[in-house]
Structure 1
C-alpha cells in the first residue's frame, strides 16, 4: 500500500515569461506524482500566462499585486492545508513568511532569485545604474526590516547559486543548515546546432529582461569598437527598452540590431547565432546562459556575483572575463569551441532528473 502523497503547494506572483516562473511551473508538473500531489497557485491573471501547465491543478487569484491577494492566499492555505508550500520571488516570499506563522504544521520553503547585496552595490557603483532609488531596492530594504519576523517561520531557503546562498546567510544572519543550493534544471531539449550554420558575418545574441543590471548598454558600447561587420539580436522586454534603443540610435547600430520582444522559440534563435553575449553586473542563475550551452552556442560573460560562473567554464563552453578590455578581446578572437563539447559541459550537471531529485529530497 502506497503511503499518503504529500500535498505540495507552489505559489508564484505571475506565470509571465521569466526564469522563476519557468522553473517552478516545471518542477510542479514533473515531481514524482506517486509521492507528491502538486497544486500551482498564481496571484496574477490567467490572460498573462505564457507557460503551459498540464496534469496538475492551476489556480489564478486574478490579482494585480501580491499585497492585494493576502486574504485570498490565507483562505486558500486554510482550505487546502498543504504539507509543504514553495514560493518564489522576494516580496511574495516575505508575505508567505508572515502568513506561515498561522500554519505551524505546514513547512514553508522559499526560493531566492537574486544576489541582493550585489544588486545594491551595482546601483551605487556602476554608472549605468543611477543612484536614485527604484522599486527593487525598496523591496530589498523592506525585506531587511521585516527579515527577522518573516524568516522566523521559514523552514528552508533555496538559493540557486553559491554566491546567492552566502549573500542571503550574511544579510539575514541565517544558520547555514537553513539554506540549500539547488541550481535550475534544463527544462527542454533542442537539437544541437551544426557547424554548417556558420556565416561570413558573425551573429551575436542576448536574451533577457531589458533592465539596468543586465548591462545591455555596455554591450552596445563594446560592439561599436569592433572593426568588422556583425549582426546582433536582442530578445526580451523590460523598463529599459527606450534607453537601449536611444543608445543604439546614438551609436549608429540600429541597422545591425534585430529586436524581438518575445518568442516561444528562444532556443531556435540562440542556435542560429555564433555567440551569446551576457553583459550583466549581477545574476541569479541565468537560464538563458544554460540554454545557450545546451544548443551548443558559446557564451561571453563577465565574472559577476551570481550563478554564471557555475555554468561557464572558461575555454570549454564560453569565456568568463573580468574587464571590458578582456570582453572586447574575445569578441575579436573567439575560440573554435565544438557544439558537442559545449552541450556536454552542462548536460550532466543540470539535467532535469538530477535537479528534480534534489527538490523531492527536500520535500521529504
Structure 2
C-alpha cells in the first residue's frame, strides 16, 4: 500500500516556497507514495496541476487563520504518513493542527531568515516569531535552505541544530541554454521577484541609472510596489531602459533572452530565481544574502557583492556583461548540484530518521 504524503502551501502562485513543494510533489509521486497537495487558495496559480498521480485539494479558505478546522478534518480522516508544510503562517497552522493529531512524520520548511526579516515585517514578524517558536517544537524536523538560516533559527528559537536540516532547493532539467551575448552592443539585464521592499528594487534602479545607456533592465513580477517603481522610472527618465512584464508563468523563457540576472534582495532564504537563471546558463550578479554563496561560484557562474555595496554590484554587472561565459557548463553544473532527484532524496531521508 502506498504511503500518503501531504504537502501544504498557501497557493500555487509564483512564490519560491510554492515552487519548491510543487517540484517535490513530483519527486514523491511514485509507486511508493500517494501525493496530495493542499492549497488554501487555488485562484493564485502559476504552476500546472495537470500532473498524473498528484491530487490537489483546495481548502478555499485563502487565509491560514480560517483553515484550521478544514485542515484538521482532512488530516484526521486521511491519516497521512508524512506532512510537509512551508512558509511561516502555514507552518504555524500545521503545527497547531498537529497538537490534536498524531502524524508519523511532520516536517516544516523555513522560507526566510527570521533575523533578516525583522527590518521589513515589523509587528507581523514579532507575531510570527512568537508562534513559530511555540509550534516548531511540534515538528520532527525543520528544513533550512542555508547554514546561515540554520544558525539564525537555532539561536532565535532555541532549537537544536540536530532538528534543523540544511537542504537546498531543487531545479527541474530543461532544454534551454543561453547562447552568446545580446546584439548591437546592448547589455540586457533581468530582475525577477515579487515587487516588495525587501527585494531591493529601488536600489537596483539606482544602479541601472548609473550604468551606461546601453544597459537595459527587464523586471518580471508583480506586487504592491509596481506603481511606485514605474513612477520612479518615469521621474528618472529611464522609460526607454526599463521594462515591466508583470507576473509570468514561464520565467526561464524570459531569463534566457538576457545577458545577466541581477538579484538585489535585502533578505532571502534560498533565491529560486538564481537557480532558474543558472539552470539555463545565464550568469548572476547578486548581493550576499541567504544561501546565495552556496549557489554562485565566483567568476564561474556570477559574482557576489557585499550586502549594501552598490558600487561593487555595479562594477560586477559591467564585468559580467563584458566577458564570455561558459553557458553550457554553468547549466550542467547547476543540474548536477541541484537536481530534483538529489534534493528529493534529502527530503525523503528525513522520513527514515527517528
Tell me the TM-score normalised to structure 1 length: 0.90
Unaligned regions of 5+ residues in structure 2, if any? none
- For 1:342 and 1:138, how far apart are their aligned partners in 2? 41
CA distance in 1, matches of 2:8, 2:173: 22
Deviation of the 1:331 alpha carbon: 2.5
Partner of 1:126: none
Specify which of 39, 47, 51 is matched with residue 51 of structure 1.
47
Q: Could you tell me which of 188, 198, 203 is aligned with 1:203?
A: 188
With over 3 angstroms needed to count, the CA separation of the structure-2 counterparts of 1:31 and 1:312, relative to structure 1, is same
CA contact (8 A) 1:109 1:155 kept: yes
3-state SS in 2 of match to 1:282: coil
State how many pairs are aligned.
346
- 1:290 corresponds in structure 2 to 275
Q: How does 1:30-45 map to 2 (within 5 A)?
A: 30-31=27-28, 33-44=30-41
Q: Which residue does 2:254 correspond to in 1? A: 269
Quickly say closer, same or farther: Cα 1:105–1:234, change in 2 above 3 A. closer
Residues in 1 aligned to 2:62 and 2:330: alpha-carbon distance in whole angstroms: 41
How far does residue 353 in structure 1 lie from its aligned partner after superposition?
A: 1.2
Residues 351 and 319 of structure 1: CA distance in aligned 2, closer, same or farther (over 3 Å): same
Does 239-248 or 309-318 show the bigger shift? 239-248
Over 3 Å counting, the alpha-carbon distance change for 1:271 and 1:185 in structure 2 is: same
Decide whether aligned partners of structure 1 residues 283 and 148 sit closer, same or farther in structure 2, where only a CA change above 3 A counts.
Answer: closer
Structure 2 counterpart SS, 1:14: strand
Correspondence for 1:341: 329
2:177 & 2:136 partners in 1: Cα distance?
43
Choose 289-298 or 186-195, whichever is displaced more: 186-195
Question: 2:63: which partner in 1?
Answer: 65
Cα gap change, 1:148 to 1:308, in 2 (>3 Å): closer
1:173 and 1:100, CA in 2 relative to 1: closer, same or farther beyond 3 A?
Answer: same
Instruction: Tell me, in whole angstroms, the C-alpha distance in 1 between the residues paired with 2:43 and 2:132.
Output: 33
Shift of 1:246: 1.7
Q: Do the aligned partners of 1:100 and 1:106 also contact (CA within 8 Å) in 2?
A: no
Q: Which residue of 2 aligns with 1:329?
A: 315
Aligned to 1:128: none
- Contact 2:29/2:54 (<8 A) preserved: no
- Work out whether residues 173 and 339 of structure 2, in 8 Å CA contact, stay in contact via their aligned partners in 1: no
In structure 2, C-alpha distance between the alignment counterparts of 1:203 and 1:197, rounded to whole Å = 7
Alignment of 1:314 with 2:298, yes or no, is yes
2: CA distance between counterparts of 1:263 and 1:177?
Answer: 39
Aligned to 1:108, the other structure's residue is in SS state strand
Aligned to 1:118: 116
Secondary structure at the counterpart of residue 295 of structure 1: coil
User: Greater strand percent: which structure?
Assistant: 2
Mean Cα deviation higher: 96-105 or 164-173 = 96-105
- Match of 1:237, SS state, is coil
Q: Please list, as runs of the form range in 1=range in 2, the aligned pairs for 1:131-210 lying within 5 A after superposition.
A: 136-195=121-180, 198-210=183-195
Q: Distance in 1 between matches of 2:137 and 2:287?
A: 36
Cross-structure match for 1:5 = 2
Structure 2 contact 181–259 (Cα < 8 Å) conserved: no
Looking at structure 1, the residues matched to 37 and 330 of structure 2 have their Cα atoms a distance apart, in angstroms, of: 34
3-state secondary structure, aligned to 1:190: coil
Pick one of 94, 97, 100 that aligns with 1:96.
94
Deviation sequence 1:178-223 (CA, Å, 0-9, x none): 1111111112413212126544211111011111111110011011
Distance in 1 (CA, whole Å) between partners of 2:291 and 2:58 is 31
Shift of residue 346, structure 1, vs aligned partner: 1.7
Matched, 1:28 2:25: yes
The 3-state SS of whatever aligns with 1:86 is strand
Alpha-carbon separation, structure 2, partners of 1:196 and 1:147: 46
Deviation of 1:156 (Å): 0.7
